[in-house]
Amino acid sequence: MGKHEQLISQFYNCFKNKDFKGMQECYADDAIFNDPVFVNLNSDEVKSMWEMLIKNGKGMELSFDNIQESENTVTAKWQARYTFSLTGRKVTNDVNATFTFKDGKIQSHTDRFNFYKWSAQAFGTTGLLLGWTSFFKNKIRKTASGNLKRFMGTN
């Protein structure tokens, strides 16, 4: 296993063990993060995002596999099973991650998942009916961004 693959395995093991500090240590000072909900987060924001998700998450279980390195890029698959705090609904989210590196740390991290499938699980009928619309996706992004800013302001 290459050094970048080892770092990503360490990152997900920390996530699995709800060790947000260990996860934070894996990121470079100029890291960026993107997924369908959180867009263009800088290093401080992504570190806080993981802390917020771990501290506020209920019943989260995580599994990961298929970590593969190619030059300066690592891809991985991971799955989170948890109770969505806003609605109390159970969610299983299958994620494909891509990482790039700088000086042995994560410089960019992009998670891809089916937003429509996630929103239908997290929001039930509302997500099923509106989860495919840009209006709903933007509303979720705005809410998540606000939650992150509030969390960062209190920590």
What pLDDT does residue 86 have? 86
User: Into how many domains does the chain fold?
Assistant: 1
Where in the sequence is the domain holding 71, given as residue range(s)?
Answer: 3-154
Cα–Cα dist 112/128, whole Å: 19
Percent helix / strand / coil, the chain, rounded to 5: 45, 35, 20
What pLDDT does residue 118 have? 97
- Tell me how far CA of residue 133 lies from CA of 7, 77, 138, in angstroms: 36, 26, 9
Over residues 91-119, the pLDDT tens digits come to: 999 999 999 999 999 999 999 999 999 99
What pLDDT does residue 48 have? 97
CATH of the domain at 96: 3.10.450.50
Over residues 38-92, the pLDDT tens digits come to: 999 999 999 999 999 999 877 899 999 999 999 889 999 999 999 998 899 999 9
